[in-house]
Amino acid sequence: MNFWETVTGSDLTREWTAFEVRAAALPDDYRAAWEQIKAHLLPHGSLTGRNLMPILDSALGLLEETAADGQSVHEVLGDDVQGFCAALADGEGAQSYRDRWREQLNRNAARKLGRLGG
């Protein structure tokens, strides 16, 4: 990864394209799940979303493996796709918006309290 790619994330576009090519080969219900997974994982993304790439790759790998087994996507992911995504992302140490908001709140509160001389 060179400097230009680091800053612009241009290499990620290529990776995205590769993901979509793999996803296109999946059965319909799996493709729908893939769309859901992407939507649920995006809030865990950094600015360029680079931290999501290995997570998306492993999620897609699971879909490919289980689709080949002939399982239904419901057998694989159940009802809680969002929970699945949160477990994936948290494990990878991806920082969610919620964490960032919490941090911001803590920081602001600390500053205000500091100003009051508390």
Partner 1 sequence: MDDLTEMLKGTLEGCVLEIIGSEETYGYAITRRLNELGFGDVVEGTVYTILLRLERNGLVQVTKRPSGVGPPRKFYALNDAGREERARFWTRWQYVSSRIDRLREGGR
Can you give the binding site for partner 1, defined by CB under 8 A? 58, 61-62, 64-71, 74-78, 84, 87-88, 91
Q: How far is the CB of 55 from partner 1 (least distance, A)?
A: 9
Q: How far is the CB of 50 from partner 1 (least distance, A)?
A: 18
Assign residue 78 a region (left: φ > 0; alpha: ψ between -120 and 50; beta: otherwise).
Answer: left
C-alpha distance across the termini of the chain, in Å: 48
74 or 112, CB closer to partner 1? 74
Cβ distance to partner 1 smaller for residue 11 or 96: 96
Spatial separation of the C-alpha atoms in residues 9 and 3, rounded to whole Å: 10
Q: What angle do CA 12, 16, 22 make, to 5 degrees?
A: 145
Nearest approach, Cβ of 8 to partner 1 (angstroms)? 29
